[in-house]
Amino acid sequence: MSVHDTAEPNRRDFLYIATGAVGAVGAVSLAWPFIDQMNPDAATLALAEIDVDVSQVAEGQSITAKWRGKPVFIRQRTAREVEEAKAVDLGSLKDPIARNANLPSDADATDVNRAAEGKEQWLVMIGVCTHLGCIPLGQSGPYDGWFCPCHGSAYDTAGRIRQGPAPTNMAIPPFEFTSDTNIRIG
C-alpha cells in the first residue's frame, strides 16, 4: 500500500498504522457514551430498600411488594406446604441450587435454604418466572406452588422449578426480618 514499493516496511507504513490505530481507539471511546447511555442510570441502580409490614399476613396468605420494579412475593406458607417442600428429593430437582442472595452461591436448594432464616414458614422471593419474566400465578399448577401461564413453567411450594421451560428456581432477594412483623428487602 505504501507509496514506495519496497518489501521492507518503512517509516511511512509505521505512520499509517499508528494513525489508524489512534483513530480506531478514538472511534471506540466515542462510541461508548452512545452505548452506555442505554444502561440503567444511577437513580435506577440505587438499591432502593423497602420495608414491608407483614403483621397482617396470616398463615396461608401472601402479599406482593414492589422492589426494583419487580414484584416480590411474601408468603406465610401452611404447614402442609412446608412438609411437601421438605419431602422432595434434591436429586429430582431441575435446579439444585438455592438461588438465595442471603446464602453462599452454591447452597443446596433445600427448603430451609429457600425459606427465611429461622422462620421456615416464610418464603420471600422475586415473583418473576426465570424463563422469560412473566409473573407466575400463586397456589396453582401441578406442584401446588406457582404456575406461569406464559409458557407453562410449574414451581413447587418453595418456588423451585419442577416442570416446563424455566431453567432456575425463582430468586430470593437480599432481605431480613428487622422485627417479627417487618421485612426489609434490599
Q: Which residues bind other proteins (CB under 8 A)?
A: 35, 38-41, 44, 64, 66, 68-71, 130-137, 148-152, 164-167
Letter for the amino acid at 22? V
25, 151, 174, 178: which is the annotated catalytic residue?
Answer: 151
Q: Which residue lies nearer to other proteins by CB, 85 or 166?
A: 166
107 sits near ligand FES (criterion: CB under 6 A): no
Q: Is 151 a catalytic residue?
A: yes
Q: Which residue lies nearer to other proteins by CB, 17 or 48?
A: 48
Please choose which of other proteins, ligand FES, none residue 71 contacts, taking the beta carbon within 5 to 8 angstroms, the exact cut-off set by kind: other proteins
Q: Which residue lies nearer to other proteins by CB, 64 or 121?
A: 64
Residues 107 and 152 sit within 8 Å (Cβ to Cβ): no
In the bound complex, what is the minimum distance in angstroms from residue 162's beta carbon to ligand FES? 12
| Residue 89, CA distances (Å) to 64, 68, 94, 141 in order | 29, 33, 11, 19
Pairing of strands 62-67, 70-76: antiparallel
Could you tell me the three cell numbers for 106? Answer: 452454591
Q: Which residue lies nearer to other proteins by CB, 111 or 153?
A: 153
- Span interacting with ligand FES, options 5-13, 15-23, 87-95, 148-156, rule CB under 6 A: 148-156
Give the separation between CA 54 and CA 57, rounded to whole angstroms. 5
For residue 74, give the 3-state DSSP assignment.
strand
116 sits near ligand FES (criterion: CB under 6 A): no
Q: What would the DSSP string read from start to end of 139-181?
A: S-STTSSEEETTTTEEE-TTS-EEESS--SPPPBPSEEEEETT
Binding residue (CB under 6 A) for ligand FES from 74, 116, 148, 185: 148
Interacting residues toward ligand FES by CB under 6 A: 129, 131-134, 148, 150-153, 164-166
